[in-house]
Structure 1
Amino acid sequence: MTTAEITLAAALSLVFLPLGLGKIAAVPFMRRAAAHLGMSPGLYRVVGALEVAGAVGLLLGPASAPLGVAAGIGLALLMAAAAVVHLRHGDPPVRALPAAVLALTAVAYAGATVAAG
């Protein structure tokens, strides 16, 4: 495992674990975000569970590179979808930017893991 892989996996996990757990717990901020996007709390909890699963997959990446790559790709797809949802909802592009940056970071992690063999 390279330094780049470890750094990207740790950074992504530090973002996705608390956000995912907040969505699962339906904390008030996350309930407001779900309502803003027209999503039910149940669907937002599913998104949170996917984020937590992805973060755990990244943390297990050193033990299983295929699992780490799958987690990175899954999180990238999830964040690309989040960016699209924000834009379709009429949010300004700056509201979709964090999701787009996270998607690119997850792709970078998956690419670094594949390149490391």
Structure 2
Amino acid sequence: MHYTFIGLSLTLAAVFLATGSAKLLRARWTVRAAEHLGYTVRSFRLIGVLEVAAVAGLLAGLAWAPLGTAAAVGLLALLVGALLAHRRAGDATAALIPPAWLALASTATAAAGLVQ
């Protein structure tokens, strides 16, 4: 298996396990973020479900690359939504850097999965 795909998949899985779990558990910072971005806490929890599902897909993709590739593409779509939400909320450019880097990592993961 391609080491780039493995490394990126594991990195994304770790990041989104943390953020998705925090949203599911209604961590204080996620409640504030939901309010700031104009989401309900319930809809933010749904985003957490999608993030944790992507983690499962990324990890399963280590056994079957097409599933990991699909999970990475799903994360890319989620991150484009995050970028749009931050822009809509009027956040500074610095707030766009984390989701932009994660979108780039998701794109690289999907690309690495395609060349398996």
Q: Aligned equivalents of 2:87 and 2:42: distance in 1?
A: 22
CA distance in 2, matches of 1:89, 1:45: 19
Asked whether 1:90 is paired with 2:90, we answer yes
Query: Could you tell me how far 1:80 is from its partner in structure 2?
Result: 1.1
Cα deviation, residue 29, structure 1: 1.0
Alignment of 1:66-105 (within 5 A): 66-105=66-105
Aligned residue type for 1:107: T
Q: How many Å separate the matches in 2 of 1:39 and 1:112?
A: 33
Aligned amino acid, residue 59 of structure 1: L
RMSD (Å) for aligned C-alpha atoms = 0.8
Q: Any stretches of 5+ residues in structure 2 without a counterpart?
A: none
Q: Which amino acid aligns with 1:101?
A: W
Q: How high is the TM-score relative to the length of structure 1?
A: 0.96
Does residue 23 of structure 2 align to residue 23 of structure 1?
A: yes
Partner of 1:42: 42
Residues 75 and 103 of structure 1 are in contact (CA less than 8 Å); yes or no, is this contact kept in structure 2? yes
Aligned match of 2:62: 62
Where structure 1 has 5 or more consecutive residues not aligned to the other structure, the ranges are: none
Post-superposition shift, 1:7?
0.5
Counterpart Cα distance in 2 of 1:104 and 1:30: 23
Say if 1:23 and 1:44, in contact at 8 Å, map to a contact too: yes
Count of residue correspondences: 116
Letter in structure 2 aligned against 1:29: W
Residue correspondence of structure 1 range 102-113 to structure 2 within 5 A: 102-113=102-113
Mapped partners of 1:27, 1:81: distance in 2: 21
Aligned-pair identity (%): 41
